[in-house]
């Protein structure tokens, strides 16, 4: 897929991506497809792997959250938010039920997230689903 897109970019005088093939992994191929769609639709100016987009959006969201509100995330909350970020980077979305899957379940799952975020947990999951995929 990446090679096909590189050819498309070069035909339109855009700088080709240096990213190589997805290695046959279905998850990587799916994230590659998402990256291609995002580029073709104009959502991304360059061909960017989906996990890179999620990481960039997460960093911006954390920085904005800490700048805009009086509430700051503590170290354990940040750890959980990073695990959620990683889940979204591989699955495109997170649901409440996903909190009971690896690696989140080993960290206390749904119960622990509720302890850490309280009533803000559900709106936070919704916000992350929207913000991280951009």
Percent of the chain with pLDDT over 90: 47
R_g (Cα) of the chain, nearest Å = 17
- Burial of 47 from C-beta contacts in 10 A (0-12 / 13-18 / 19+): buried
Mean pLDDT of all residues belonging to the chain: 79
Q: What is the pLDDT of residue 120?
A: 93
43-93 pLDDT, tens digit each: 767 666 778 889 999 999 999 888 876 678 999 999 999 999 999 988 889
| Rounded distance between C-alpha atoms, residue 27 and residue 33, angstroms | 10
Domain residue ranges of the chain, discontinuous segments joined by +: 2-48, 51-133
**For the chain, give me the number of helices (H) and strands (E)?**
6, 0
């Amino acid at each position: 897929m990446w090679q096909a897109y590189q050819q498309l970019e070069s035909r339109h005088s855009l700088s080709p991506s240096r990213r190589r093939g997805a290695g046959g992994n279905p998850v990587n191929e799916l994230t590659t497809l998402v990256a291609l769609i995002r580029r073709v639709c104009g959502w991304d100016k360059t061909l960017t792997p989906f996990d890179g987009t999620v990481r960039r959006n997460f960093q911006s969201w954390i920085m904005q959250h800490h700048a805009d509100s009086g509430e700051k995330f503590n170290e354990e909350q940040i750890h959980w938010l990073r695990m959620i970020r990683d889940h979204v980077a591989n699955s495109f979305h997170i649901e409440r039920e996903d909190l009971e899957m690896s690696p989140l379940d080993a960290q206390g799952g749904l119960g622990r997230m509720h302890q850490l975020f309280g009533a803000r947990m559900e709106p936070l999951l919704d916000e992350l689903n929207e913000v991280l995929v951009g």
